[in-house]
Amino acid sequence: MTSLFKIDGMSCHHCIKAVIKEFEKAGLKNFKVELGLVEIDLDENQISLEKLKSIVEEAGYNIVNE
């Protein structure tokens, strides 16, 4: 299921790269990161919403909607 999340605090291309880096480090695939948004095929059998939030926080940002 494709989900769209708003990410707070992103303001530049570096921010996008930081989130992409954390997603790749976590082994995530099938995602698209734009300034302030992430679109991801979220299979809760493989990754929970809480884990996704944790990955985004590791990059220094927060998901502001669920």
Prediction pTM value:
0.88
Task: Please check whether residue 17 is in contact with residue 5, taking contact to mean a CB–CB distance below 8 angstroms.
Answer: no
Residues in the chain: 66
CATH number of the domain encompassing residue 25: 3.30.70.100
Question: Is pLDDT of 65 > 90?
Answer: no
Q: How many domains does the chain have?
A: 1
Question: Is pLDDT of 58 > 90?
Answer: yes
Q: What range does the domain containing 9 cover?
A: 2-63
Percent of the chain residues past pLDDT 70, beyond the cut: 98
Give the model's confidence band at 66: pLDDT under 50 very low, under 70 low, under 90 confident, else very high: low
Give the model's confidence band at 49: pLDDT under 50 very low, under 70 low, under 90 confident, else very high: confident
Surface-to-core class of residue 41, CB atoms within 10 Å of its CB (0-12 exposed, 13-18 middle, 19+ buried): middle
Please tell me the predicted confidence (pLDDT) of residue 62.
94
